Amino acid sequence: MKCDCCLVTATRSTSSRPRRHLPTSPALGRSSRVRLRRPAPLRSKHRMTVNWAAISSLITGLAALGALIFTGQAVTASQEQVAIAQAQNQLAEQGQITDRYGKAVEQIGQEGPEHLQLRLGGIYSLERIAHDSPRDQPTILEVLLAFIRTNTHANFVAPAGSPIRANNTCSTLPTTGPDIQAALAVIGRRDVKHDDYSRINLSKACLRGARISGRFDNASLDYADLSGANLSGADFNHSTFLYTIFNGGFLLDANFDHAQFPSASFLGTYLYRSNLKDARLNGANLTNGLLNDARLNGADLTAANFTNSILRGVDLTGVRHDATTSMGGAQTDGATRGMWW
């Protein structure tokens, strides 16, 4: 049995004994460094969390892309269906227009006074068709012009050496009827922007006493009879009137800019404030014409006859005239310009 002093001595000897340090191998050093890192289970859990987030984002993106593709396909299919429906509607509408056109043409072809209402209905139906289908307006215009020419045609004979026609068979025809008047009205109020390059042709038409208004620019009324007709306010710019008769007509405020009237007849015609600027009136007969405040500046008056005409306030500046221009008895006033006689 040891005494307490021996134990104290032993304890001291033990505590004072130098500690032995085990040699640290490279492997043990690495092992100690590894122990400083994050534990393996925690690292795997973190990696799994990152991977699931990426996968979730990828799935969400793919779903959005799929939805976008599906939406695009749906929109394309919808657009195709709309286009097909529109094409079908256009075909149906064109078929209806064709049927309406055929019926209207049949109506205006009915002759005789007992079928007047049918003809009027056909004329106004054609006007409606031209409004509904502007591309058909040129064709409808030709139909109406042919209708007028066919039903108002007169055989005119111009005697050799005479500026005025004789044997005017138009005088044996009745004055312009309601159906012809309706066709003229429809032509005059058409929308000219839908016209093609065809010309309004009313040559040799007998339109005595007709009321003509609206747009008739670049028209041809050669050899036509417009005796007593009312053309007030109408537009006939650049139109031709070779041997046309206007006797006793009313052409107030009408526009005939650059129009041609070779050998036309205006006996006793009212031309108040009419625009005849740069018109060709060579050989025209305006005897007893009333041209108050008309504009004839720049017009060709070679061989024109203004005997006893009223030229008060008329603009004659720059007109072309010669010895064959007759101004005998023409009445002027202080507002008349360009007098040379």
DSSP-derived secondary structure for 75-90:
HHHHHHHHHHHHHHHH
Provide the pLDDT for residue 29: 47
The reply to whether 290 and 183 lie within a common domain is: no
Residue 341: inside a domain: yes
Residue 300: inside a domain: yes
pLDDT of 282-320, one tens digit each? 999 999 999 999 999 999 999 999 999 999 999 999 999
Burial of 180 (0-12, 13-18, 19+ CB in 10 A): buried
Mean pLDDT of 127-144: 95
Residue 203: inside a domain: no
Confidence of residue 201 (pLDDT cuts 50, 70, 90): very high
The reply to whether 242 and 336 lie within a common domain is: yes
| Stated length of the chain | 341
Residue 15 has pLDDT above 50, yes or no: no
Mean of pLDDT over the chain: 83
What whole-number percentage of the chain has pLDDT above 90? 63
Provide the pLDDT for residue 11: 45
Q: How far apart are CA 96 and CA 268, in angstroms?
A: 50
The reply to whether 231 and 144 lie within a common domain is: no
Residue 261: inside a domain: yes
What are the backbone angles phi and psi of residue 272, rounded to the nearest 5°?
-55, 130
CATH number of the domain encompassing residue 257:
2.160.20.80
Residue 283: inside a domain: yes
Greatest mean pLDDT among 86-100, 174-188, 262-276 lies in 262-276
Residue 48 has pLDDT above 70, yes or no: no
Residue 6: inside a domain: no
Residue 76 has pLDDT above 70, yes or no: yes
User: What is the value of pTM for the model shown?
Assistant: 0.72
Mean pLDDT of 244-267: 97
Provide the pLDDT for residue 53: 72
Residue 9: inside a domain: no
The reply to whether 312 and 241 lie within a common domain is: yes
The reply to whether 187 and 242 lie within a common domain is: no
Provide the pLDDT for residue 92: 72
The reply to whether 253 and 315 lie within a common domain is: yes
Q: Please tell me the total count of domains within the chain.
A: 2
Q: Whole domain around residue 332: which residue ranges?
A: 226-341
Whether the Cβ atoms of residue 324 and residue 303 lie closer than 8 Å to each other: yes
Q: Which amino acid is it at 286?
A: L
Confidence of residue 261 (pLDDT cuts 50, 70, 90): very high
Domain end point (choices 175, 192, 209): 192
Burial of 155 (0-12, 13-18, 19+ CB in 10 A): exposed
Q: Which candidate, 183, 185, 196, 4, places its Cα nearest to that of 104?
A: 183
The reply to whether 177 and 247 lie within a common domain is: no
**Crossing angle, helix 116-132 and helix 137-152, to 10 degrees?**
160
Confidence of residue 140 (pLDDT cuts 50, 70, 90): very high
The reply to whether 232 and 317 lie within a common domain is: yes
Confidence of residue 166 (pLDDT cuts 50, 70, 90): very low
Instruction: Give me 202's structure tokens.
Output: 């009313």
Residue 176 has pLDDT above 50, yes or no: yes
Q: How far apart are CA 128 and CA 118, in angstroms?
A: 15
The reply to whether 237 and 136 lie within a common domain is: no
The reply to whether 274 and 338 lie within a common domain is: yes
Extended strands (E) in 170-234 = none
Tell me the three state secondary structure of residue 202. coil
Residue 117 has pLDDT above 90, yes or no: yes
The reply to whether 276 and 325 lie within a common domain is: yes
Residue 135: inside a domain: yes
The reply to whether 264 and 325 lie within a common domain is: yes
